[in-house]
Amino acid sequence: SQSGCRWHKRIAMTEKSASEAAAAAERMQLQSEYQDCLLSHWKLCAAGLAIGLPVAMKTRKHIYWAIGGISGTMLDYVQALEDCKGFRARIASVDLKSGVRDPLVASAGMPVQPVPESSDQQA
C-alpha cells in the first residue's frame, strides 16, 4: 500500500508540474504580446522629434529637439499603457491562478484581481 501512496504522490507532482509549465508558457506568450503592444507605440515620439528639429535648427538650440522627443515619448508611453492594459490584467490573472505574484504589481502595492474569462461565469 505504501508504493500506491508514492505512486499517487508522483502522479500529483507530475500533474502539478504540467499545470505550472502550461501557466508559464501562457505567461510567456502574454508577455510577448504585451511587449509587441508596447513597442508598437512610437509615432508620437517620431512626430515630436520631427517638429522639434526645425525649431532647434532655426534657434540653434538643441533643447527644442530634446523637448519634442521627450514630449512625444511621454505621450506614446501614456497611450501605450492605456492601450495595452488588457495584457497586463491577463498576465496578472495567470499569475493569480498559478500562485505567482508579479513583482511589478507587488512593488506598486496593487491588489491582483482575476479577470473573468466570460460573462457567463459571473451569473
Mean pLDDT of the chain: 80
Q: Measured between alpha carbons, how far is 114 from 31 in angstroms, rounded to an integer?
A: 17
Give this prediction's pTM: 0.62
Q: Residue 100: left (phi > 0), alpha (psi -120 to 50), or beta?
A: beta
Q: How far is CA 5 from CA 12, 15, 18, 34, 92, in A?
A: 11, 15, 20, 43, 35
The predicted structure's pLDDT at residue 6 = 64
Reported as a single tens digit per residue, the pLDDT across 37-72 is 999 999 999 999 999 999 999 999 999 999 999 999
Residue 16 pLDDT class (50, 70, 90 cuts): low
- What average pLDDT score do residues 6-32 get? 75
